[in-house]
Chain A
């Protein structure tokens, strides 16, 4: 009898627990894998005052590593739909797509240039609000074309173009200072800050776009069409303010301390040829001086560089040469920084670098006394210093061209 009683109590507890679980359960979100359309790329364009949404969907059986006969279906399919809002367009898309759209594995979100110019905050709300969207995909702006067209391009190597774009951006961001990966949460953070405008990487189509939309284009060694990252786009509030060229992007990345590695070249002194320097470590610091009426900024950029290539007759074994190279590199970096900063102060008139943010942090009172930061930014003085040290010269001493017997 005791045993039966001791059995009843835990059973009841378990039953109650199970019933409670029913109410909390997630059974409605149950989807088998073959009931999902995995969206990997999403493009947002403008069509009049409506949004044109393009979704790139994976066809798993063409992508998986399973060997066997591949029936030459395209590995991805893209669908288009138009609506007043993004969710409306996506709902309309269900009439075309075989299965339910699944956004958790979105790799890249492409915003058309027109949308960027008219404001990205409206379409972004859906993206930020959606339960399925993670925040680890990258946002880019289509340059000179629509997002839909980019999503219709086939990519060599990786069968999934969106995946290709994702990894491409990730590697080039790491090894080359002229691109920048921005995720959704970072973009929203930048949008909500006053002292720093957002900037997104730009993406353009190189080659003949009319031929790039077929798998057969992957049969050619030299790709007909390549999707290429080309600088960045500066935003003023949520609207596009101007393009950043390669140098501007480098400067932005230097100031944001988001450089892992980059390469720059110097022309040789006294002779023809160049010296390539690889930046292996960089650290930028903004110092704010608020004594005057207008704040003044001291930008110090500390870099550590390695010599990777010398194509002139330079005697690198002498310490003086290294000192000289240091000075040249400093000069080059300083002029590069000054040029870009000047351009953004006087022409684009937006602070994407975060000077305002720095001011806000170091002197909040002063910051609050300034009404329009972008107007003030035009007028502030920014002094630039570069402290560069050349650390390693590689595994040979003299350049090959110097050693070559003439």
Chain B
């Protein structure tokens, strides 16, 4: 457990209980959730000592501490001074795993505000911190963002300790190492770096430590606060850090030699280094048969392409390259556009923006009505817009297929990238036709190849190409053929399983 050493003498505890309690209340602003319960204890020599137990309401179990003190059997208590009594309490009375001696107010606040109970005695210039944390937190539930058909149903919670325990339960190895540090000058949030000691790539781990150390922000409320400060490149729509709320995903990442970063207070763990192809992989790929998983994975890549370029392709072809359309389709499209007042680009923009509005609204709405509203909204807006002659029916199809393809992506943050790029490509398509679309696509590929994630090329193992890593990139070969860990992640031990 982390214990800061007192540096400032002014903040050492006083010998008098009254003074200590007064300063405590004063410095916490007479907060109503600070509960102090005073009691009296008799020493062996008959002297009565004033004592107090202090805890934060709601963070720790109030009854636990009082039970020790009042229901305990103190008959053979040999102590004659309050310091001895405190030692006696620590050694004999309190049946709790975590008991610490505190000498300064800084330490005291640290313990008190994280849910420990503090035991103070008059005539003693140190205190005891007892681990009586009782967290009011959400229990372990099924993750609702990254859901699977087959696979573990547990997801991370907001409590760091539970989350690390969940990983520990999956990987029962002494090589699973945790490093904790506190980030956020005000919030003092606990952050854990998790890795498997004998697999992890040393250079990545060093980078993680170094970048985390540089963070100097007042508060960390979610893992994205960290993600944005430690990513390799800020100005890119593509995520270079993977996140997951599933312990199995994090465990699988650790087994490949990655480093996980978990933040207290959020169920989303970060996983680095993240590769572009990783965002197309779902944990379910490994829980279903290899052939099926491969096909699904290819479908996801295809959907990503669809989600990115379908509207721009449609705009380019219908406004610049009509000769590319099959003749009969041309008649139909031309008939639908009959009476539509806007150019195809504006038409696409109307529908895309409408869809984005509906989508954002349905995310923010209460869950119970969100889904139905979004479906009804899309149908009504789509159909009514066609009937009102604002957009053509083909455009509604284009927008819908784009939207649905976007939902196929297992990683939400890559979907955001696809949405941003889609609009850029639409502008290019409207002004330059297919020529513009391809210039855009080439620029995106250049950009993707320039990205790195903690020193690892983002497009690996496609660029730079690595043949043995192809087993788990576009395809997912059966486990019997997956003998090594991904080479591009540079793990300490490459061999995953030995040939029988």
Task: Give me 22 A-to-B residue pairs in the complex whose CB atoms sit less than 8 angstroms apart, sorted by A's number.
Answer: A6-B233, A10-B446, A10-B450, A17-B439, A17-B443, A18-B439, A21-B436, A21-B439, A25-B435, A26-B320, A26-B432, A27-B433, A30-B320, A31-B319, A33-B330, A34-B337, A38-B330, A40-B327, A60-B335, A65-B332, A105-B322, A160-B331
Q: Roughly how many angstroms separate A105 CA and B330 CA in the complex, as a whole number?
A: 9
Max count, chain A CB within 10 A of own CB: residue among B233, B431, B447: B431
Judging by beta carbons under 8 Å apart, are A32 and B433 in contact?
A: no
A residues less than 8 Å from B447 (CB atoms): 10
Instruction: Verify if A270 is at the interface (C-beta below 8 Å from B).
Output: no
Residue in A closest to B333 when the chains form the complex, CB atoms: A33
- The segment from B281-289, B338-346, B403-411 that touches chain A is B338-346
B165 interface contact, C-beta 8 A: no
* In-complex Cβ contact of B336 among A29, A58, A66 (8 A): A66
Chain B residues contacting A66 (CB-CB under 8 Å) are 332, 335-336
Q: Is the CB of B235 closer than 8 A to any CB of chain A? A: yes
Confirm or deny: B243 has a beta carbon within 8 angstroms of a beta carbon on chain A.
no
Partner of A33, one of B233, B334, B443: B334
Interface status of A385 (Cβ within 8 A of chain B):
no
B323 within 8 Å of A (CB atoms): yes
Closest 5 CB pairs of A and B: A64-B335, A104-B323, A60-B334, A60-B335, A34-B337
Q: Which of A17, A24, A61, A104 meets B338, CB within 8 Å?
A: A61
Q: Could you say which residues of chain A place their CB within 8 Å of the CB of B443?
A: 14, 17
The complex places the Cα of A61 from the Cα of B318 at a distance, in Å, of: 17
A38-B334 contact in complex given A26-B432, A32-B343, C-beta closer than 8 Å: yes
Determine whether the beta carbon of B323 is less than 8 Å from that of A33. no
B318 adjacent to A33 (CB under 8 Å): yes
CA distance A65 to B337 in the complex (A): 14
Q: In the complex, what's the smallest C-beta–C-beta distance from B469 to chain A, in angstroms?
A: 27
Contact A21 B435 (CB under 8 A): yes
Partner-B contacts on A (CB < 8 A) = 3, 6-7, 10, 14, 17-18, 21, 24-27, 29-34, 36, 38, 40, 58, 60-61, 63-66, 102, 104-105, 107, 132, 134, 160, 163
In whole angstroms, what is the CA distance A383 to B158 when docked?
A: 95
Pick the contact of B335: A17, A21, A30, A61 (CB < 8 A).
Answer: A61
A372 to B439: give the CA distance in the assembly, Å: 55
Partner of B432, one of A7, A27, A104: A27
Complex interface: chain B residues within 8 A of A58 (CB)? 331, 334
Output the least CB separation between B394 and chain A (Å): 10
Across the interface, which residues of B come within 8 angstroms of A160, CB to CB?
Answer: 331
Q: How far is the CB of A13 from chain B (nearest CB, A)?
A: 8
| Nearest chain B CB to A71 CB, angstrom units | 12
Is B217 positioned at the interface, with any CB of A under 8 Å from its CB?
A: no
Question: Is A102 within 8 A of B234, CB to CB?
Answer: no
Interface contact B433-A7, CB-CB below 8 Å: no
Is B320's CB under 8 angstroms from A29's CB? Answer: yes
Query: Shortest beta-carbon distance, A122 to chain B, in Å?
Result: 26
Q: Which residues of B contact A31 (CB under 8 A)?
A: 319-320, 322
B42 to nearest A CB, angstroms?
Answer: 66
State A116–B234 Cα separation when bound (angstroms): 69
Residues of B within 8 A of A132 (CB): 323
User: In the complex, are the beta carbons of B332 and A60 less than 8 A apart?
Assistant: yes
Cα distance A306–B334 when bound, in Å? 46
Given the known interface contacts A10-B450, A25-B431, A38-B330, the answer about A32 and B335 at a Cβ–Cβ threshold of 8 Å is no
B344 contacts across to A, CB distance below 8 A: 32-33
Interface flags, B370-410, vs A, CB<8A=1, else 0: 00000000000000000000000000000000000000000
Number of B residues whose C-beta is below 8 Å from A? 32
Beyond the given A60-B331, A64-B334, please list 15 additional residue pairs across the A-B interface where CB-CB is below 8 A: A3-B234, A17-B439, A27-B431, A27-B432, A27-B433, A29-B320, A30-B320, A32-B319, A32-B337, A33-B333, A34-B334, A36-B322, A60-B338, A64-B331, A104-B323
Contact with A along B210-243 (1 / 0, CB 8 A): 0000000000000000000000011100000000
Given A17-B439, A26-B432, A33:B337 Cβ within 8 A: yes
Interfacial chain A residues near B327, Cβ < 8 Å: 40, 105, 107, 163
**What distance in Å separates the Cβ of A213 from its nearest Cβ neighbour in chain B?**
21
For A3, list chain B residues within 8 Å (CB): 233-235
Q: Determine if A34 and B338 form an interchain contact, defined as CB atoms under 8 angstroms apart.
A: yes
- A63 in contact with B319 (CB, 8 Å): no
Question: B311 → chain A, closest Cβ, in Å?
Answer: 15
Q: How far is the CB of B158 from chain A (nearest CB, A)?
A: 31
Candidates A14, A64, A102; contact of B322 at CB < 8 Å: A102
B332 CB contacts on chain A under 8 angstroms: 60, 64-66
Chain B nearest CB, measured from A101 CB (Å): 12
* Binary interface encoding of chain B residues 180-209 relative to chain A, with 1 for a CB under 8 A from any of its CBs, else 0: 000000000000000000000000000000
A64 close to B320 (CB less than 8 A): no
> Chain B 235-266 against A: per-residue CB contact (8 Å), 1 yes, 0 no?
10000000000000000000000000000000
Residues of B within 8 A of A34 (CB): 334, 337-340
Kindly list chain B residues whose C-beta atoms are within 8 Å of the C-beta of A26.
320, 432-433, 435
8 Å CB interface, B397-431 against A? 431
Residues of B near A30 (CB, < 8 A) are 319-320, 433
Within 8 A of A (CB), among B307-364: 318-320, 322-323, 327, 330-340, 343-344
In the complex formed, the residue of A with least CB distance to B432 is: A25
Q: Which residues of chain B are near A14, meaning CB under 8 Å?
A: 443
Q: How far is the CA of A60 from the CA of B450 in the complex (A)?
A: 47
Contact of A36 among B334, B335, B433 (CB under 8 A): B334
How far does the alpha carbon of A82 sit from the alpha carbon of B122 in the complex, in Å? 116
| CB of A260 to closest CB in B, whole Å | 23
Looking at the assembled complex, report how far the CB atom of B309 sits from the nearest CB atom of chain A, in whole angstroms: 17
Chain B residue contacts of A104, Cβ below 8 A:
322-323
Distance of A61 from chain B, by nearest CB (Å)? 5
Minimal Cβ-Cβ distance residue in A for B319: A30
In the complex, which residue of chain B has the Cβ closest to the Cβ of A105? B327
* A33 and B322 contact, Cβ closer than 8 Å, known pairs A10-B447, A38-B330, A63-B335: yes
For residue A26, give the distance in angstroms from its CB to the closest CB of chain B.
5
User: In the assembly, what is the distance between CA of A207 and CA of B439, in Å?
Assistant: 56
Which residue from chain B places its CB closest to the CB of A20 in the assembled complex? B439
Once bound together, how far apart are the Cα atoms of A32 and B234, in whole Å? 39
B340 and A24 contacting across the interface, CB-CB below 8 Å: no
Q: Is the CB of A134 within 8 A of B323?
A: yes
Q: Which residue of B lies closest to A3 (CB)?
A: B234
Determine how close the nearest CB of chain A comes to the CB of B66; give it in whole angstroms. Answer: 54
Q: Which residues of B contact A60 (CB under 8 A)?
A: 330-332, 334-335, 338
Name the CB-closest residue of A to B394: A33
Task: Give every chain A residue within 8 A of B334 (Cβ-Cβ).
Answer: 33-34, 36, 38, 58, 60, 64
Q: Report the minimum CB–CB distance from B349 to chain A (whole Å).
A: 14
Contacts of A27 in B (CB 8 A): 431-433
Kindly list chain A residues whose C-beta atoms are within 8 Å of the C-beta of B436: 21, 25
Chain A residue numbers with a CB within 8 Å of B432 are: 21, 25-27
Question: Which residues of chain A are near B338, meaning CB under 8 Å?
Answer: 34, 60-61
Q: Which of B233, B323, B435, B446 has the most CB of A within 10 A?
A: B323
Known contacts A32-B344, A107-B327; A64 and B431 CB within 8 A of each other = no
Docked CA distance A162–B294 (Å):
47
A306 to B367, CA, bound (A): 70
In the bound complex, what is the Cα–Cα distance between A63 and B343 (angstroms)? 22
Name the interface residues of B112-166: CB closer than 8 Å to any CB of A. Answer: none
Rounded to whole Å, the gap between the CB of A64 and the closest CB of chain B is 3
Q: Which one of B233, B322, B336 has the highest number of Cβ atoms from chain A below 10 Å of its Cβ?
A: B322
